[in-house]
């Protein structure tokens, strides 16, 4: 924790105090690290804290006499600012600091005077990190009140209703007193993305590389970059996790109530809507209608379907006027009410259809609404009974009110035009004019699976209807492979067969996995007696993967002992079961159960597959009940003429004759007291040999959905398994549910802390540590913020070079005030796949809309503190309360030179130099230490340590320091000594982790290993491969070396692997003196291919079993060359 400022708190000043800065829990993320902080929004000076006599205290001078170092205070979990002050005292011997008091806190208390203590604590928590993360696991967020976004003038409804940030620019007006929440949102429709970017449904642009990369963390605010069926469930569970990007900065599918993902908020809004009644309506009528919508009230505290259908419906018919507005507030778009006639016949399930009433005109003609009545103030329309409304039999508010009303909303939302949209923009080239409507939408909204036009014509653009527009949008379509048809990408996996079913019930846009196998020819699946590949016309004949298989060897490494007869006589399954009972027949015979005696016999091989059933269950004629890919295993053949001929193992010996003649029960032992099949796992141990044999055959291994490449003798030891999806190591937090200490979290999504005012007499008050997305004394207000996702790319030569990254939010005034910043270390060899998620906050609330802002990224080499490059990203759409930005930063190989005179001619860098941004043609003044401002014209006092770099100040004049290697702290005075013990072996280089990036206590350093070594501490010697080339080979000076790793794929994994086998490639140069090369390789591999620049391939290394730390020497000659057709 650090003490941020002593300034007084004001809502207009976005100061945060006493902050925790730590890594968010990475348990639910694959490739992201998030920097998060929890801070007080109120000044600590408001707390009158008295000294605790029970705590040990020491002055700085006494600590120095005892030879206590700053590192010691760090290990004692002292606040960072206290440690730095003490380190400054040690270096300067400043008498003003000598009597500064250090309070030695005992866990779990913390703070400069040990004044803070989290209300939540579990005995297993050994650190504040664990306390915070286990708190969010143990206290799911179920709020009885709302957090609010208060920086837009808006009457949201009756209290406690207030505006949520997700409701701004969600396509519907939520403010009842004006369209303030949608006023500027049309500007988002003008946003156009680059070719290498993906456009989110909301209009935001993100790198194409980020699409579909992590189903738990969204880069689009609307989560449209992660098309995953688990997304909805993931967002619904957000209350069980800490406030991170994947939960806090995501908007859910808009409903008539809100676009918030919190179910509790929807219910609170409904309660608000029904909290005030019209004076002309009796209490009895109002209570009956609330009961009718399953909203508990004093008259009907408990509501069931029976109560609704009898008491409530009867009461509203007796006590209510013929027609009334329910609720007493607009329901749609801020101006459309719903009204009900009590005597209308029910639509379905006793549900009365509402009327839509408004004092404004709206596109009712597009909705097939029928004019019912009109007064001087209001016009009402009756909903046609053809409208699709879902109702339920259950008695809960969502089923009786939420879902039906939302169904109406979904069908009328297309009539709402975009607020304040300039009509002239409809004539722009990238806009589409909806048919028979004044509404127009940008091209990126076409064919995206979301109807935006009143007649849905934006989702029905095909070649035969609009060939010109279809050609422009062709990338949004999927071309059906087996028939000549295009469908939108949004139609894939939508539970509807849009490409059309083939004759085997296969649908390529729904059966995604089978689509892959039917279109992709696989060497492993050729001639295995099962047709995967869909027929292709070649020379007028249908060809498949089972064509011309007469000379193919059926018993091979892909068919051997897979539980399925791929050979006509089952040779590929011989001797696969080591059980003595199953192995008593010679190679010319096959084990068989006699149809008459139900005893084992050996059937001559010539009787196998002769189209005559000789064995019970048809085990000798396995083509009768083949193993299939798409269907459940039914491998036991019934001797019957009925349609049901093939049974599964679950139907054997279950006491019921499924076969007409009872052959599924005739071999079973009698007098068992069980009601399930003997083949079930819990009974198979007591089965006879005959029963076990038929269970295995009839319920045997299902044909693998995909056969993956392998080599003979392949084996992979567990310690060397390859993880296809590398994940960040995380703390193994205990999944306990301790006794609750709080009835309801007081701080919403923040941390409730006890502030000890006088511990000795047990006097304390409460305060809240708020995450960046909230502020207020109870974290009740939603913060304006920028949420950034950044991935860095560095050249291969810079893989082992650590960089200091400074990401700042600054305004573009002459002062270039830095509103907030984040700083961290980037090490390419460690972090190349990582996306860094971080928040930047404005220094004022609300942000000053008359200013312009930008993201400024500075990159420094950590070893030398030399500036490598800077990047500029403008912040647009300032009307958005939460602005999500995602980009890739490519670190240049060398530092940029001074800008040319042409670029810098208008830059008056008084105390600095002009530098061009690496991603734009713009330039800026990089100031000398002690100077800031647009022209380096504003002096300031730099208090950074002498070995660090002072690069500017925050808006409160606190300097921003870039620390050298092994130093940290706001002023870089604290030395990190984790590497002093030389934990990296074999001349490896130790790089300390940023302490706030650690998710566990044992990840305090990273080892950059010297050539030929790897492992966490460089303890493992890499595989050394020496390739000596025959002098007769014609090779290019450099070669691509491909390392192939066979990844075991298990049959229950029904997903298309990203890469199987896996390939990693390196470029190596041949030594001209020795005509050889040496490679050190740290990853598991099973084959090594050499590729020349003219596409000639050699296979010098095959190792079925990978063994690390070995030395492989190979002479490569013509015999290793792969023929062109292989």
- In total, the chain counts a number of residues equal to 1126
- Nearest-angstrom CA–CA distance, 460 and 487: 10
Which of 238, 293, 285, 282 minimizes the C-alpha distance to 264? 238
Is-contact 828 889, C-beta < 8 A? no
Q: What is the DSSP string of 325-384?
A: ESSSS--BTTTEEEEEETTSPPSBTTBPPPEEEESS---GGGGT-EEEEE-SS-EEEEPP
> How far is CA 666 from its chain centroid?
54
For the record, the structure tokens of 816 come out as 């270039």
51-56: list long-range contacts, CB under 8 Å, 24+ apart: 51/113, 52/103, 52/113, 52/114, 52/756, 52/758, 52/759, 52/760, 53/760, 54/759, 54/760, 55/103, 55/104, 55/105, 55/106, 55/114, 55/759, 56/103, 56/104
pTM for this model (two decimals): 0.84
Would you state the pLDDT for residue 1003?
73
Question: Residue 505 pLDDT > 90, yes or no?
Answer: no
Place of tokens 């049974």: 647
Place of tokens 């300039």: 422
Average pLDDT, whole number, for the chain? 85
Would you state the pLDDT for residue 897?
47
Place of tokens 């928040």: 839
- Nearest-angstrom CA–CA distance, 807 and 812: 15
Question: Residue 950 pLDDT > 90, yes or no?
Answer: yes
Q: pLDDT: is 394 or 52 the higher one?
A: 52
Which of 438, 431, 436 minimizes the C-alpha distance to 417? 438
Please state the rounded mean pLDDT for residues 750-775. Answer: 92
**CATH fold match for the domains 786-975 and 1021-1120:** yes
- For residue 862, give the DSSP letter: T
Would you state the pLDDT for residue 206?
95
Is-contact 638 647, C-beta < 8 A? yes
- Nearest-angstrom CA–CA distance, 61 and 69: 12
Q: Per residue in 1038-1070, pLDDT tens?
A: 999 999 998 765 544 444 444 568 899 999 999
Looking from the CA of 630 toward its CB, the CA atoms found within 13 Å total 15
- Nearest-angstrom CA–CA distance, 146 and 161: 7
- Nearest-angstrom CA–CA distance, 593 and 700: 16
For the chain, give every domain's residue range: 8-142, 526-580, 584-705, 786-975, 1021-1120
Place of tokens 């591999």: 1085
Q: Per residue in 814-828, pLDDT tens?
A: 999 999 999 999 999
Is-contact 125 733, C-beta < 8 A? no
Q: Kindly indicate the confidence band of residue 735, based on its pLDDT and cuts at 50, 70 and 90.
A: very low
φ/ψ of residue 323, rounded to 5: -145, 140
Q: What is the DSSP string of 501-528?
A: --TTS--TTT-HHHHHHHHS--GGGTTS
Please state the rounded mean pLDDT for residues 883-904. Answer: 74
Question: Residue 113 pLDDT > 80, yes or no?
Answer: yes
CB neighbours (10 Å) of residue 571? 18
Strand partners, 58: 102
Strand partners, 1027: 1077, 1114
For the record, the structure tokens of 480 come out as 């059906």
Question: Residue 346 pLDDT > 80, yes or no?
Answer: no
φ/ψ of residue 180, rounded to 5: -60, -30
- Using alpha carbons only, what angle is made at residue 165 by residues 163 and 171, rounded to the nearest 5 degrees? 90
Is-contact 445 452, C-beta < 8 A? yes
Question: Residue 901 pLDDT > 80, yes or no?
Answer: no
For the record, the structure tokens of 147 come out as 């957090």
Which of 596, 588, 634, 587 minimizes the C-alpha distance to 615? 596
Q: Per residue in 779-790, pLDDT tens?
A: 999 999 999 999
- Nearest-angstrom CA–CA distance, 443 and 472: 9
Least reliable range by pLDDT among 68-72, 96-100, 298-302, 474-478: 474-478
Helices (H), 688-812: 689-698
Q: Per residue in 467-484, pLDDT tens?
A: 888 888 888 888 888 888
Q: Which CATH number fits domain 1021-1120: 1.10.287, 2.60.40, 3.30.230, 2.60.120?
A: 2.60.40
Q: Which fold has domain 786-975?
A: Immunoglobulin-like (2.60.40)
Q: pLDDT: is 656 or 367 the higher one?
A: 656
Cα-based distances in Å from 1103 to 344, 1040, 1090, 1107: 79, 19, 15, 9
Would you state the pLDDT for residue 275?
93
In sequence order, the 6+-apart residues with CB closer than 8 A to the CB of 751 are 38, 118, 132, 135, 768, 769
Cα-based distances in Å from 179 to 155, 255, 415, 1003: 10, 17, 16, 51
Counting runs of H as helices and runs of E as strands, what totals does the chain give? 18, 52
- Nearest-angstrom CA–CA distance, 986 and 573: 50
Cα-based distances in Å from 533 to 478, 481, 707: 20, 12, 13
- Nearest-angstrom CA–CA distance, 363 and 374: 16
Cα-based distances in Å from 880 to 183, 253, 786, 807, 846: 11, 18, 10, 20, 12
Q: What is the DSSP string of 1018-1060?
A: S-EEPEEEEEEE-TT----SEEEEEEEEPPP--TT--S--S-S
Question: Residue 239 pLDDT > 60, yes or no?
Answer: no
Is-contact 899 925, C-beta < 8 A? no
Q: Percent of the chain, pLDDT > 70?
A: 87
SS3 per residue for 177-203: CCCHHHCCHHHHHHCCCCCCEEECCCC
Q: Per residue in 670-713, pLDDT tens?
A: 877 777 888 988 888 888 999 999 988 887 666 666 677 788 87
- Nearest-angstrom CA–CA distance, 1092 and 1041: 9
- Using alpha carbons only, what angle is made at residue 421 by residues 418 and 426, rounded to the nearest 5 degrees? 100
Q: pLDDT: is 116 or 1108 the higher one?
A: 116
Please state the rounded mean pLDDT for residues 979-987. Answer: 94
Q: Per residue in 577-633, pLDDT tens?
A: 766 666 678 888 999 999 999 999 999 999 999 999 999 999 999 888 877 655 556
**Omega within 30 of 0 (cis) for the link into 196:** no
Least reliable range by pLDDT among 286-295, 368-377, 589-598, 893-902: 893-902
Would you state the pLDDT for residue 465?
82
Is-contact 140 240, C-beta < 8 A? yes
- For residue 404, give the DSSP letter: H
Q: Is 882 helix (H, G, I), strand (E, B) or coil?
A: strand
- Nearest-angstrom CA–CA distance, 792 and 1043: 26
Place of tokens 């702290």: 969
Question: Residue 757 pLDDT > 70, yes or no?
Answer: yes
φ/ψ of residue 366, rounded to 5: -75, -15
Q: Per residue in 528-578, pLDDT tens?
A: 777 878 788 888 888 888 888 888 888 988 888 877 888 888 888 887 876
Would you state the pLDDT for residue 482?
80
Which of 346, 413, 337, 409 minimizes the C-alpha distance to 375? 337
- Nearest-angstrom CA–CA distance, 610 and 4: 86
Q: Per residue in 802-814, pLDDT tens?
A: 999 999 999 999 9
Cα-based distances in Å from 321 to 275, 325, 328, 335: 19, 10, 14, 23
For the record, the structure tokens of 142 come out as 């179920």
Cα-based distances in Å from 395 to 262, 300, 309, 327, 1083: 21, 13, 10, 19, 59
- Nearest-angstrom CA–CA distance, 982 and 1007: 10
- Nearest-angstrom CA–CA distance, 914 and 655: 88
Would you state the pLDDT for residue 1013?
96
């Amino acid at each position: 924790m650090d003490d941020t400022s002593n300034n007084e708190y004001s809502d207009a000043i976005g100061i945060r105090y006493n902050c925790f800065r730590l890594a968010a829990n990475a348990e639910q993320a694959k490739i992201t690290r998030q920097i998060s902080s929890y801070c007080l929004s109120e000044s600590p000076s408001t707390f009158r804290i008295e000294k605790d006599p029970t705590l040990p205290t020491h002055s700085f001078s006494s600590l120095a006499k005892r030879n206590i170092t700053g590192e010691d205070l760090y290990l004692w979990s002292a606040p960072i600012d206290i440690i730095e002050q003490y380190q400054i005292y040690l270096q300067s011997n400043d008498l003003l600091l000598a009597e500064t008091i250090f309070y030695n806190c005992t866990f779990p208390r913390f703070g400069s005077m040990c004044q803070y203590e989290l209300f939540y604590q579990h005995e297993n928590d050994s650190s504040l990190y664990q306390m915070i993360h286990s708190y969010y696991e143990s206290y799911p967020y179920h709020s009885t009140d709302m957090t609010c976004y208060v920086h837009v003038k808006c009457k949201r409804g009756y209290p406690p209703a207030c505006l949520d940030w997700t409701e701004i620019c969600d396509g519907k007006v939520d403010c009842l007193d004006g369209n303030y929440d949608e006023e500027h949102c049309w500007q988002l429709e003008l946003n156009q993305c680059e070719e290498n970017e993906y456009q989110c449904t909301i209009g935001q642009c993100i790198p194409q590389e980020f699409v579909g990369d992590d189903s738990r963390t969204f880069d689009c605010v609307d989560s449209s970059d992660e098309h995953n069926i688990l997304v909805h469930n993931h967002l619904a569970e957000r209350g069980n996790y800490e406030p991170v990007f994947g939960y806090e900065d995501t908007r859910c599918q808009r409903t008539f109530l809100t676009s918030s993902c919190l179910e509790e908020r929807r219910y609170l809004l409904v309660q608000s809507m029904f909290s005030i009644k019209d004076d002309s309506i009796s209490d009895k009528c109002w209570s009956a209608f609330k009961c009718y919508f399953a909203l508990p009230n004093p008259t009907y505290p408990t509501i069931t379907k029976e109560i609704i259908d009898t008491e409530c419906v009867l009461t509203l018919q007796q006590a209510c006027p013929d027609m009334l507005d329910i609720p007493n507030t607009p329901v749609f778009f801020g101006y459309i009410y719903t009204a009900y006639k009590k005597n209308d016949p029910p639509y379905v399930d006793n549900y009365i259809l509402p009327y839509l009433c408004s004092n404004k005109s709206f596109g009712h003609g597009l909705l097939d609404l029928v004019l019912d009545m009109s007064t001087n103030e209001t016009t009402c329309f009756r909903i046609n009974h053809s409208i699709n409304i879902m109702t339920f039999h259950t008695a809960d508010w969502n089923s009786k009110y939420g879902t039906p009303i939302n169904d109406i909303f979904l069908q009328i939302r297309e009539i709402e035009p975009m607020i304040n949209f300039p009509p002239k923009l409809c004539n722009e080239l990238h806009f589409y004019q909806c048919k028979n409507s004044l509404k127009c939408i940008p091209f990126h909204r076409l064919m995206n699976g979301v109807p935006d036009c009143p007649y849905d014509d934006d989702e029905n653009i095909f070649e035969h209807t609009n060939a010109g527009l279809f050609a422009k949008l062709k990338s949004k379509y999927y071309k059906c492979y087996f028939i000549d048809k295009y469908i939108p990408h949004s139609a894939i996996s939508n539970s509807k067969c849009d490409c059309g079913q083939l004759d085997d019930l296969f649908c390529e846009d729904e059966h995604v996995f089978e689509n892959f196998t039917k279109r992709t020819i696989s060497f492993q699946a050729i001639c295995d007696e099962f047709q995967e590949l869909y027929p292709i016309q070649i020379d007028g004949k249908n060809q498949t993967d089972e064509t011309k298989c007469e000379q193919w060897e059926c018993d091979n490494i892909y068919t051997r002992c897979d539980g399925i007869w791929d050979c006509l006589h089952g040779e590929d399954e011989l001797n696969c079961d080591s059980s003595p009972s199953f192995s008593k027949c010679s190679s010319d015979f096959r084990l068989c159960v006699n149809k008459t005696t139900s005893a084992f016999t050996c059937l001559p091989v010539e009787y196998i597959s002769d189209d005559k059933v000789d064995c019970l269950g048809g085990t000798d004629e396995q083509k009768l009940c083949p193993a299939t890919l798409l269907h459940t295993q039914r491998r036991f053949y019934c001797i019957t003429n009925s349609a049901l001929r093939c049974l599964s193992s679950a139907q054997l010996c279950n006491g019921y004759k499924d076969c007409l003649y009872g052959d599924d029960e005739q071999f079973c032992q009698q007098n068992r007291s069980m009601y399930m099949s003997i083949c079930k796992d819990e009974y198979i141990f007591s089965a006879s040999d005959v029963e076990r044999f038929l269970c295995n055959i009839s319920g045997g291994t299902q044909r693998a959905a995909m056969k993956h490449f392998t080599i003979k003798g392949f084996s992979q030891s567990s310690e060397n398994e390859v993880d296809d999806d590398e994940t960040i190591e995380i703390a193994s937090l205990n999944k306990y549910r301790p006794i609750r200490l709080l009835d309801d979290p007081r701080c919403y999504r923040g941390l409730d802390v006890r502030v000890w005012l006088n511990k000795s007499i047990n006097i304390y008050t409460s305060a809240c540590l708020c995450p960046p997305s909230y502020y207020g004394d109870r974290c009740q207000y939603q913060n304006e913020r920028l949420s950034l996702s950044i991935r860095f790319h560095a050249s291969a030569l810079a893989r082992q070079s650590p960089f200091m990254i400074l990401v700042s939010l600054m305004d573009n005034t002459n002062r270039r005030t830095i509103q907030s910043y984040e700083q961290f270390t980037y090490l390419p060899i460690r972090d190349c796949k990582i996306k860094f998620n971080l928040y930047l906050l404005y220094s004022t609330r609300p942000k000053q809309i008359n200013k312009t802002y930008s993201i400024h990224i500075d990159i420094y080499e950590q070893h030398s503190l030399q500036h490598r490059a800077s990047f500029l990203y403008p912040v647009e759409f300032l009307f958005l309360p939460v602005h999500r930005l995602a980009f890739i930063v490519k670190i240049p190989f060398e530092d940029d030179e001074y800008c040319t005179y042409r670029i810098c001619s208008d830059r008056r860098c008084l105390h600095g130099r002009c530098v061009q941004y690496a991603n734009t043609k713009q330039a800026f003044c990089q100031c000398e230490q002690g100077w800031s401002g647009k022209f380096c014209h504003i002096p300031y006092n730099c208090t950074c340590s002498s070995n660090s770099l002072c690069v500017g100040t925050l808006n409160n004049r606190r300097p921003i320091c870039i620390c050298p290697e092994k130093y940290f702290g706001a002023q870089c005075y604290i030395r990190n000594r984790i590497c002093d013990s030389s934990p990296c072996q074999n001349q490896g280089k130790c790089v300390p982790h940023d302490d706030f990036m650690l998710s566990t206590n044992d990840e305090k350093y990273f080892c950059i290993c010297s050539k030929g070594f790897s492992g966490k501490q460089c303890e493992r010697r890499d595989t050394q491969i020496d390739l000596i080339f025959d002098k007769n080979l014609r090779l290019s000076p450099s070669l691509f070396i491909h390392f192939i790793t066979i990844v075991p794929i298990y049959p229950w994994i029904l997903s298309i692997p990203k890469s199987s086998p896996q390939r990693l490639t390196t470029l190596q140069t041949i030594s001209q003196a020795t005509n050889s090369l040496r490679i050190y390789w740290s990853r598991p591999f099973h084959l090594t291919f050499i590729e020349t620049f003219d596409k000639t391939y050699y296979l010098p290394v095959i190792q079925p079993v990978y063994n690390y730390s070995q030395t492989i020497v190979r002479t490569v000659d013509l015999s290793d060359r792969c023929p062109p057709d292989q």
